Amino acid sequence: AVCPGTFDPVTYGHLDVIGRASAMYVAVIVGVVNLPWRKGNTLFTVEERVAFVQNATSALPNIEVEPFSSLLVEFARTRGAMAIIKGLRAISDFEYELEMNQLNRRQAPDIESVYLMASPKYSFLRSSGVKELATFGGEIEDLVPDEVARHLKERLGR
């Protein structure tokens, strides 16, 4: 299975979904979007974003982390994945993911998308919120791995 995302930066919410996917599939490839279409410039380079996910998942033997610059379904196909795994938090995610699902299904009807519901303690966690907190000196230690928190404070702290 492929777990795709921008991961700018990875949060404990992403890691929860990745960890649960790793228990369900023989192999999980975390696909880190190089240049996301909808999100403009990322705060962290793709190399940094990949390294953060790699360091946070190093204890899980069946996970690989790779950047990709193609269509998601092409990436999934070239890596031999049968499924795309996504996390869903609140209803607000549903509309966006439904649209993505239709786009992806049109391109590759054979690759199924699978949705894991966010664990309640992470259901309002998103990377942009963590970046906002980091900018204004909020507590982020329980939202992202220590390495990520350090880099966020260095880059954004005012």
**Residue 37 interacting with ligand PNS (CB under 6 A):** yes
Q: How many residues interact with ligand PNS (rule CB under 6 A)?
A: 11
Which tokens in the block code for residue 7?
């991961």
Nearest distance, CB of residue 147 and ligand PNS, angstroms: 20
Contact criterion met (CB below 8 Å) for 60 and 67: no
Where does this chain touch ligand PNS (CB under 6 A) — which range of 4-12, 44-52, 54-62, 141-149? Answer: 4-12
Rounded to whole angstroms, the Cα distance separating 69 from 26 reads: 24
Looking at residues 66 to 85 of the shown chain, list those that interact with ligand PNS (rule: CB under 6 A): 71-72
Nearest distance, CB of residue 42 and ligand PNS, angstroms: 9
Nearest distance, CB of residue 101 and ligand PNS, angstroms: 8
Concatenate the DSSP letters of all residues of 95-135 into one string: HHHHHHHHHHHHH-TTSEEEEEEPPGGGTT--HHHHHHHHH
- CA torsion angle 127 86 19 34 (round to 10): -60
Where does this chain touch ligand PNS (CB under 6 A) — which range of 17-25, 33-41, 47-55, 118-126? Answer: 33-41
Nearest distance, CB of residue 137 and ligand PNS, angstroms: 26
